[in-house]
Chain A
């Protein structure tokens, strides 16, 4: 662990503190709404989400499309405002976003094909009033070496992996303490992925940068993160250390995600789908959000939203939102 990281992690307050964040997207008023003289029913993207990230920590936020993971990323990055709740970075409200960087899934969309890499990075620096000499430092930090060879190139001349490095360089130029990476490797070929993962780990180790790593890939989440937070329909259903969540998954949804993972290990069991159907697109079910797809649901699951509580047999930091968690059969 570097000196810098040691100094960062010794601070007691979390770097990022998210409390009770809710976001509702306005839906179009349907004909049914008109006939019933209702206002349009909004789509709840996030429902009272809490999240802490410590300095130098990698936290994976795991969820499928529709889980609210991208909305959460955008709220933390200050790109959209929360309807309710608090987002603080180093105790500050959303006016010092310089310390938060953002890396999106698709480098092809983030980069302007007509602008050089140097121009792309300089644009961010200019917006923050930072000195332009940081362009080369950022390219070097993202291992685009030598910087002089990359500064004047355009995205077309780079591989997919190199383009994602440029996007990371753009985030690094602003000297962030936290970078939010939304599916940063899912568009890349598998051989390119390892290079980006290595870079993320290295930046955490050498510069003490904290990461929120958003992914649908539970294997990746387990491997790269210190802690895993599982989102389903806008709410945290399970959280804990990567080891706790993956070795002892306590929520039926986490168990279904794990069972669905294919493995190249000749000794691993085949995949199977433990959950029925797909994430609902319309109304969120009453009570437990997952109950309609859950093999363990009982009538009581429909009555109240299950609170996040310490998982059975788990450490204090392993928490699950399932009233049946203690009764689930052991995993085979």
Chain B
């Protein structure tokens, strides 16, 4: 059922956008923050990312990798000490990173986001149906009655039982609150949906339910879905393409099939090998020593070099160029050369391994 979420009206694009341009295309985006002592910290350092209608793209990285800052930039919700230094964020050709971009027009109506902490994102003193209806009234200018009816349909669509739609957020379970958040995000029929760790706080069975729901919404509404998570397994399950971030840069990207079956960047290899996998029967894990760098004091060269078993002198001095191979596969690692344009053979980075459960 898609009556509530906008397949019912032709999309009116904001001024300056055109339907023939790609849905969302980020090029060379750089975002920095001014620290209290006056220093600047570059949280996102020249990333490229795109999503097409109906496509699911995963952005993976650990805390401090810059993935949530990228969301802030796309939504125009950066903290006051943050700013976009370079690059473009084109929504249907309209650059949202440019000065004076109509962010109030695009935020929620064109690009919406679901965050991790649904209890803080929902207003505790307003019934969930009214919150969805209010979003529709305020942002789309619909009359109250129409908004209430749409809200009811939308809450039904995301799986909130009829008798719960007039509940307050604290009366709902964790999974129901996340469903309600999704209803709020979808209330203005966005074309792009960003999930910023949308299932991280949930139990595993409820996570599976919410992921199934997100996948159904993507298909029904032809949403471009950007899924931001530290959990590569969630991306493997949900996404067509993936980009791996480390210390503000995308170190490797490509189709999920390509990257997960033949990871090339040593960091991707470490992330994929760091957790045991009961379903795959794998108990041996790779141990990545050290910890992510302090973004305000980054070493020169490849940011991953201090933790990389393959790093040599050049890695510690020169930034690795990002090389684009066929099929949108990119890699930023000195240890691979451009060659003849074909995808290079993965080099197995010799991490120490640990066989768990060895007795």
Please give, as numbers and ranges, the residues of chain A lying within 8 Å of B233 by CB-CB distance: 261-264
Contact of B206 among A225, A246, A278 (CB under 8 A): A278
Contact of A278 among B203, B260, B286 (CB under 8 A): B203
Which one of A94-102, A103-111, A123-131, A251-259 is at the interface? A251-259
User: Does A260 contact B205, Cβ atoms closer than 8 Å?
Assistant: yes
Please give, as numbers and ranges, the residues of chain B lying within 8 Å of A270 by CB-CB distance: 237
A275 and B203 CA atoms in complex are apart in Å by: 12
Contact of A259 among B176, B208, B271 (CB under 8 A): B208
Asked whether A219 is an interface residue with its Cβ less than 8 Å from the other chain, the reply is yes
Please give, as numbers and ranges, the residues of chain B lying within 8 Å of A281 by CB-CB distance: 173
What's the minimum C-beta distance from A238 to chain B, rounded to whole angstroms? 15
Contact of B203 among A64, A193, A259, A265 (CB under 8 A): A64
What's the minimum C-beta distance from B246 to chain A, rounded to whole angstroms? 10
User: Does A225 contact B357, Cβ atoms closer than 8 Å?
Assistant: yes
Please give, as numbers and ranges, the residues of chain B lying within 8 Å of A222 by CB-CB distance: 276, 278, 283, 357
User: Does A268 contact B354, Cβ atoms closer than 8 Å?
Assistant: no
Chain B residue at minimal CB-CB distance from A5: B359
Q: When each residue 216-242 of chain A gets 1 if its CB lies under 8 Å from chain B and 0 otherwise, what string results?
A: 111110111110000000000000001
Contact of B204 among A191, A195, A261 (CB under 8 A): A261
A273 and B205 CA atoms in complex are apart in Å by: 6
Asked whether A192 is an interface residue with its Cβ less than 8 Å from the other chain, the reply is yes
What's the minimum C-beta distance from A121 to chain B, rounded to whole angstroms? 22
A270 and B358 CA atoms in complex are apart in Å by: 28
Contact of B279 among A189, A195, A219, A273 (CB under 8 A): A219
A161-180 contacts to B, CB under 8 A, are 161-162
The DSSP consensus for interface residues of chain B is mixed
Asked whether B280 is an interface residue with its Cβ less than 8 Å from the other chain, the reply is yes
Which one of B4-12, B48-56, B287-295 is at the interface? B287-295
Q: When each residue 197-209 of chain A gets 1 if its CB lies under 8 Å from chain B and 0 otherwise, what string results?
A: 1100100000000
Please give, as numbers and ranges, the residues of chain B lying within 8 Å of A64 by CB-CB distance: 203-206
Asked whether A284 is an interface residue with its Cβ less than 8 Å from the other chain, the reply is no
Asked whether A4 is an interface residue with its Cβ less than 8 Å from the other chain, the reply is no
Please give, as numbers and ranges, the residues of chain B lying within 8 Å of A263 by CB-CB distance: 233, 236-237, 277, 279-280
Asked whether B285 is an interface residue with its Cβ less than 8 Å from the other chain, the reply is yes
Contact of B288 among A191, A242, A265, A266 (CB under 8 A): A191
Please give, as numbers and ranges, the residues of chain B lying within 8 Å of A264 by CB-CB distance: 232-233, 236, 260, 272, 277, 280
Contact of B212 among A191, A268, A273 (CB under 8 A): A273
Asked whether B129 is an interface residue with its Cβ less than 8 Å from the other chain, the reply is no
A242 and B357 CA atoms in complex are apart in Å by: 9
Please give, as numbers and ranges, the residues of chain A lying within 8 Å of B204 by CB-CB distance: 64, 216-218, 257, 260-261
User: Does A197 contact B205, Cβ atoms closer than 8 Å?
Assistant: no
Q: State the interface size on chain A (CB cutoff 8 A).
A: 52
A290 and B99 CA atoms in complex are apart in Å by: 55
Asked whether B356 is an interface residue with its Cβ less than 8 Å from the other chain, the reply is yes
Asked whether B207 is an interface residue with its Cβ less than 8 Å from the other chain, the reply is yes
What's the minimum C-beta distance from A11 to chain B, rounded to whole angstroms? 17
A111 and B107 CA atoms in complex are apart in Å by: 40
A310 and B254 CA atoms in complex are apart in Å by: 48
Asked whether A305 is an interface residue with its Cβ less than 8 Å from the other chain, the reply is no
Chain B residue at minimal CB-CB distance from A64: B203
User: Does A198 contact B287, Cβ atoms closer than 8 Å?
Assistant: yes
Q: When each residue 54-92 of chain A gets 1 if its CB lies under 8 Å from chain B and 0 otherwise, what string results?
A: 000000000011000000000000000000000000000
Chain B residue at minimal CB-CB distance from A200: B356
User: Does B257 contact A257, Cβ atoms closer than 8 Å?
Assistant: no
What's the minimum C-beta distance from A57 to chain B, rounded to whole angstroms? 10
What's the minimum C-beta distance from B27 to chain A, rounded to whole angstroms? 28
What's the minimum C-beta distance from A187 to chain B, rounded to whole angstroms? 10
Asked whether B62 is an interface residue with its Cβ less than 8 Å from the other chain, the reply is yes
Contact status of A219 and B291, CB under 8 A, knowing A266-B257, A278-B174: no
Please give, as numbers and ranges, the residues of chain A lying within 8 Å of B357 by CB-CB distance: 222-226, 242
Asked whether B270 is an interface residue with its Cβ less than 8 Å from the other chain, the reply is yes
Chain A residue at minimal CB-CB distance from B233: A262
Please give, as numbers and ranges, the residues of chain B lying within 8 Å of A266 by CB-CB distance: 236, 257, 260-261
A246 and B279 CA atoms in complex are apart in Å by: 9
Contact status of A201 and B354, CB under 8 A, knowing A257-B204, A264-B236, A272-B212: yes
A12 and B204 CA atoms in complex are apart in Å by: 37
User: Does B354 contact A262, Cβ atoms closer than 8 Å?
Assistant: no
User: Does A190 contact B274, Cβ atoms closer than 8 Å?
Assistant: yes
Contact of B356 among A160, A201, A258 (CB under 8 A): A201
Asked whether B119 is an interface residue with its Cβ less than 8 Å from the other chain, the reply is no
A48 and B82 CA atoms in complex are apart in Å by: 54
A19 and B39 CA atoms in complex are apart in Å by: 59
Asked whether A313 is an interface residue with its Cβ less than 8 Å from the other chain, the reply is no
What's the minimum C-beta distance from B230 to chain A, rounded to whole angstroms? 6
User: Does A190 contact B271, Cβ atoms closer than 8 Å?
Assistant: yes
Asked whether A28 is an interface residue with its Cβ less than 8 Å from the other chain, the reply is no
| The 7 nearest A-B residue pairs measured at CB | A223-B276, A265-B280, A262-B233, A260-B208, A64-B203, A189-B62, A159-B291
Residues of A within 8 A of B (CB): 1, 64-65, 159-162, 189-195, 197-198, 201, 216-220, 222-226, 242, 246, 256-275, 278-279, 281
- 25 A-B pairs whose Cβ atoms sit less than 8 Å apart in the complex: A190-B232, A190-B274, A190-B275, A192-B291, A193-B274, A194-B285, A195-B289, A198-B354, A217-B204, A219-B275, A219-B276, A223-B283, A223-B285, A223-B356, A224-B356, A225-B357, A242-B357, A259-B208, A262-B208, A264-B277, A265-B236, A266-B236, A270-B237, A271-B208, A281-B173
- 18 new A-B contacts, CB < 8 A, other than A189-B63, A191-B291, A265-B277, are A64-B205, A65-B203, A190-B271, A192-B291, A194-B275, A194-B288, A194-B354, A197-B356, A217-B204, A219-B279, A222-B357, A223-B285, A262-B233, A264-B236, A270-B237, A271-B237, A272-B212, A274-B205
